[in-house]
Structure formats: C-alpha cells, structure tokens
Chain A
Amino acid sequence: MSPLKIITRDAPTGPVLEITGDLDYTTASELRNLLTTLTLQPDQRLVLDLAGMTFCDSSGITALIAARNHAHSARADVALAAVPTPTLRVLRMVGLDQIFPLHPDSHAATQP
C-alpha cells in the first residue's frame, strides 16, 4: 500500500488535483476534506489527475463522485485524467465512464 498524496496546482481551466498513491477506505476522506476547502468559480473545470493513483476502491469511487458533486454545486465542471486501467474497468462497470469526462492525461484535460 502506498500513502495518498494530493498536490493541488492551478491550470488556466481551474484547479488540478494530482492524486498519487492509494485512494481507499482509509484515505478517501483526505480527498473529500480537501474538496471542502477548494473554491471553484462557475465554468471552471476541476481536473483530477489520476496518473499516479495506484489503487482505488469503492470509497475512492465515492470520493470521485463527491468531487463531481462539489464541482457541480459551484456550477463548475469536472474531468478525470489518466485513469488507470483497473479503475477504468470499475468506472465502466458502474456506468461512471458516461458521467465523468475522461482524458488521456492532465494536459489534454486542461485544454480550454
């Protein structure tokens, strides 16, 4: 298991959260707590860069949904970048691939 690390950076499209490590039952609350401190402007795009994410369980999926809810409540958008294959499989299974805009990497996700 690798510890969760979240780095926030600003792109022209809005904040990018680089999520590294395991997003699971024990760590998902870190992302959810961070979201509550994140201010989004209308029409900004919150990008979750998952390139460094090593594991994601159902609690992690819930945190991703919480991120989407947070963005939408600020009338902002949300996107996932570089979703690892196992997580992509889960997203497809539960139909979330239709809900989250998916991008191959954070560069593509932050294009206006």
Chain B
Amino acid sequence: MCRTGQEPGPHDADSEHDEKTSTAAFAALLEDSVEELYENAPCGYPSTLMDGTIAKINTTLLDWLGLEGEAVVGRMRFTDLLTVGGKLYHETHFAPLLRMQGEVRGIALEVKQADGGRIPVLVSSVVKHGSGGEPLLIRTTVFDARDRRAYEQELLRARRAAEEARKQAEADRARLQDALAVLQQSLLPATLPPVPEMEAAAHYRTASPDRLGGDCYDLFPIDGKRFGFFLGDVCGKGPQAAAVTSLTRYTLRAAALHDPDPVSALTTLNKVLHERYTGGDPRYCTVVFGILEPVSATGQVTVRLASGGHPPALILRGDGRADFLPTPGGVLVGVLPAAPFSTATTLLDPGDTMVLYTDGLTEARTGEDRTILFGDEALRDFTAGHAGKSAQAVIQALTGLLDDFGDGLDDDTALLALGVPADGFHPKTTA
C-alpha cells in the first residue's frame, strides 16, 4: 500500500482496512512481481548466448530437469539439456533455422532429466538483437509436452487398434466369402455329367457376388438309360434362400431316384417345402423337372417334364424354329399343401436344343423404368437366331446377352441347355 503523502481520505478505519485487503488481492492478480512470474511460470525460460551457453534459466525448467542453477548457468549449453536425438535435430535443423530466420517456433524435442528420465517438450526461440542490429542472445521458451505426447500416443495406439480391426474385418470377410463360395458350389453341379448322344451346357450368374443365389440346376443319371434334370428359382435371396435352394436340390435328386416321374418328384418337393416353411415366412420355388430318355433307333431323345410355376422351356429346332413348351397351370412349389403341376412332352431330333432359364433373363430391365423388361417374346426371337446351333453355342450366345444387360440384370440367372447334336453322336459336356 502506498498512500504516503496523501491526505487521509474521507474514510473511516474499517473502510480503509477493506481497501488495503482488496488492493493486495488485486496486486496478486496483476502478477506485479515480474521476477516471480519469470521463475515460476508454467513454462521453462532458458536464455543463452549466441554460442548456446546458458546465461539464465528459470526455476520451472530447473525443477523439470532436476538441476541446480549454479550447475547450469555459464557451465552448460542449451544442447547439453537435450537427448542425443534432440541434440542432433537441434544442430541440423533448429540452430540453422534460428540463424536464418531469427526465430523458431514449436519444435518438438526431448530434454534429459538428472535422474535419467526424459521430457518431451515444445521449444520456441527468438534472437534478441542489440541497438546496432547485432545478435545478442537467444530467448527460449520450453513447454512441457508430456500430456500432449501421451495424447498423441493414445491417438497412435487407437490408429493401430483401428488398423488391426480393419485387417481382422478383411480377414473375416475373405473367410466368409470363401464359405459362401463353397456353399454356392454345393447348390450347383461342379461339372455336368456326360449324357450319351447329347450335349449339355449351363451358365449361372449371380446378380451380386456376396449374395448367395437362389437359382439352381442339375443333371444326373437315373439309371443306365435315363437322365434327370431340373432348373429352379427359389424366392428371396441370401442365406435363407440358399438353405431352400439346397433343400430343393437334394430333395429333387433323392425323389427322382425313388420315383423318376416328374410330377412325383415335384410333389415330394412340394410336400417337403410346405411342411418346412409355413405361416408368415413362406418359402417356395418355381421348378422345371424332367427326364431325358434316348430313343436308340432314331438318335432322338424324349423329354418328359413337369413345371411348378416356372417359365416354359424353349425348344430350338434344327430348322431354325424356336417355340415355348407350354406348361400352364402348374403352381409354385411349396405354397399349397397339394399343388397341381403341369406336364409336357417333346421329342428332340438331332439338331434340336432345349433351353431352360430362370426369370432373371426374361425380367432383365431393358429400359429406364423397371417395368420395361426383356420379356418372353424377345427371348424367343433372340434364341431363334441361334436355333440349330450346339447347346454350348446357345449358352454362349445367352451369356453374351446377359453381359449386354449390364446393370439391367437385377436377379440371379441360371441357364441350362440340353441338345442333340445334329451331326451324330458327340458326347460333350460343359459346365
């Protein structure tokens, strides 16, 4: 308090006492002791000569270092406070920058403590110049960056953890895709068996690589003479649909061995699906199931098939005709406790090919609107252009058509062609 020389004001004793107290508090707030602020500021203040010799250092920094002032001032250089790495960086970057620019800000270094520890710090330095512009000394502030370093390390750790998690997720995804691929393959024959005096070809296209498909087909021997075949489309997508597809495939194969009549096979499948899936989550499929029986004397093959709500088979004749083999009235398999199935029979002459397909093909979008679809008539016209060709050639042409649909292909598509070669006996198969 400094009221000396002033007239006593119009205060009583109490109010004077109050004023003294508040002024003292205010002085404390004002940091009126610059020396005290310098010594105990929340950062280190070393000042060095231009050669680096420490000329002055505050208590805060000495405390961090665990050193006494006498051991440092005039005896150590600033670089003596740094770790070996810090020293190197100081000499190669910090000091040259400081000489060139007169100041350096926020450089991360490490200082050594007397007990062998080290503290990460952020260092800023400014060169103080004399009145003639000559450099006099270097003023430096040293901020404790331990918390910041810990934070950075936490970030690094989190990044490594995220990296690990990402790698794990990728590995999981790859494993899942392998599993899906194996399951998908169990829904389809790896290769089609050779059928005497016939040629068979198939194609399967999933609309999405990580979605298990709901289409299936198969071709298998029933006895020494006859072969069974089917092609179907299970409602829905994903694992649930794949489970139905699997059930469908193996039920039909087993049913055909028991009784190869097409309607019997579909009836068995209908019973199995209907019992397994009822109520609010109906699962069903559309299937064409049939039997091939060669007529040895003529080189022809008799086809007897039954359909449960499936698009009709296309028969491509060697003379260039293409006709649907209508199977109206058959109901999807699995919906009714006892469903009617419609049957059809045809005779394939040498040069004829039967094509089975799922509606992914006929319902491919060919316009902007998703109600503009490829359609049955367009399919018949397209395949008529390939009538007389081999089963393999027909499948190749249809595969090209699917390629052309591009994004218009919303659904999985399965194709199976069974043909009687025109020029005699050519047992060939291609999956």
Check A58 for interface membership: any CB of B closer than 8 A: yes
- CB within 8 Å of B: which A69-112 residues: 69-70, 73, 86, 92-96, 98-99
8 Å CB contact of A95 from B235, B282, B330: B330
8 Å CB contact of B236 from A55, A59, A73, A95: A59
Shortest CB-to-CB span from B244 to chain A, Å, is 12
B236 pairs with A58, CB closer than 8 A: yes
Report chain A residues within 8 Å CB of B336. Answer: 99
Check B289 for interface membership: any CB of A closer than 8 A: no
Shortest CB-to-CB span from A21 to chain B, Å, is 13
Binary interface encoding of chain B residues 221-238 relative to chain A, with 1 for a CB under 8 A from any of its CBs, else 0: 000000000000001110
8 Å CB contact of A73 from B279, B335, B339: B279
Report chain A residues within 8 Å CB of B371. Answer: 54-55, 86
Shortest CB-to-CB span from A1 to chain B, Å, is 7
Tally of B interface residues using CB under 8 Å: 26
Categorize the interface residue count of chain A: 20 to 34
A65 pairs with B280, CB closer than 8 A: no
- CB within 8 Å of A: which B330-363 residues: 330-332, 335-336, 339-340, 359
B286, B335, B340, B411: most-surrounded residue (chain A CB, <10 A): B335
A32 pairs with B280, CB closer than 8 A: yes
B370 pairs with A1, CB closer than 8 A: yes
Bound-state CA distance A45–B136 (Å) is: 101
A66 pairs with B236, CB closer than 8 A: no
Check B18 for interface membership: any CB of A closer than 8 A: no
B280 pairs with A62, CB closer than 8 A: no
A95 pairs with B329, CB closer than 8 A: yes
Shortest CB-to-CB span from B146 to chain A, Å, is 54
A94 pairs with B286, CB closer than 8 A: yes
Between A and B, 25 residue pairs with Cβ closer than 8 Å are: A25-B237, A54-B371, A55-B371, A58-B236, A58-B411, A59-B235, A59-B236, A62-B235, A65-B282, A65-B335, A69-B279, A69-B280, A70-B280, A86-B371, A92-B328, A93-B311, A94-B286, A94-B332, A95-B309, A96-B331, A96-B332, A98-B331, A99-B331, A99-B335, A99-B336
With A1-B370, A35-B280, A95-B330 already in contact, 12 other A-B pairs whose C-beta atoms are closer than 8 Å: A25-B237, A32-B280, A36-B280, A58-B236, A62-B282, A66-B282, A69-B279, A73-B279, A94-B286, A95-B329, A95-B331, A98-B340
